[in-house]
């Protein structure tokens, strides 16, 4: 069993409010939302962060970024959203399974 929290969410071992799934990625609500809408999009495969991305991941990341605006629209973010991707201690990354934060729907609070 993995000790990665987001792998465990992917595998259904830790509950989360999952809003989207495809072959590449999963999206679920952030447990401590910093905006009226705040969800995370993770690659299914465990990639730590952008330091861990390889040339062979280019298509995967492209497909995830194509999915993000579709997921955002499904959550009502038709007028736009903010995307944040923290990498490493210098980026205040807390969970070491790469994730895009997607925020919108009003004011953001306390976002590093
Ligand atoms: P980061 O600092 O970019 O690594 O962000 C990690 C994010 O994961 C934070 O916004 C947390 O609120 C969120 N988070 C932590 N645990 C969970 C969980 N069990 N379910 C959903 N989101 C979580
Ligand atoms: Zn993981």
Q: What is the DSSP letter of 89?
A: G
What pLDDT score was predicted for residue 1?
Answer: 65
| Burial letters 73-105, b for 16+ CB under 10 A, else e | eebebeeebeebebbeeeeebeebbbbbbbbbb
CATH of 5-104 among 1.10.3720.10, 3.40.50.2000, 3.30.428.10, 3.10.310.40: 3.30.428.10
Shortest-distance atom of ligand 1 to CA 32: 12
Mutate to test the pocket of ligand 1, among 94, 100, 101, 108 (most ligand atoms within 8 A of CB): 94
For the chain (112 residues), the mean pLDDT of every run of 10, in chain order, is 92 98 98 97 98 98 98 98 98 98 92 57
- Cut 0.85: pTM above it: yes
- Domain ranges in the chain? 5-104
Contact partners, residue 15, CB within 8 Å, separation at least 6: 9
Which are the catalytic amino acids?
99
Q: Ligand 1: which of 95, 98, 102 to mutate, most ligand atoms within 8 Å of CB? A: 95
Residues having CB closer than 6 A to ligand 1 are 5, 14, 16, 28, 30-32, 40, 86, 92-95
Q: Is the dihedral of CA 111, 13, 68, 61 positive or negative?
A: positive
pLDDT of residue 30: 98
């Amino acid at each position: 069993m993995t000790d990665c929290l987001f792998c465990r969410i992917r595998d259904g071992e830790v509950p989360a409010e999952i809003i989207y799934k495809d072959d590449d990625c999963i999206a679920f609500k952030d447990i401590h939302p910093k905006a009226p809408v705040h969800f995370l999009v993770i690659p299914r495969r465990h990639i730590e962060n952008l330091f861990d991305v390889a040339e062979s991941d280019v298509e995967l990341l492209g497909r995830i970024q194509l999915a993000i605006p579709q997921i955002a629209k499904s959550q009502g973010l038709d007028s736009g959203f903010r995307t944040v991707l923290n990498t490493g201690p210098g980026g205040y990354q807390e969970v070491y399974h790469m994730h895009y934060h997607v925020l919108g729907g009003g004011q953001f609070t306390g976002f590093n």
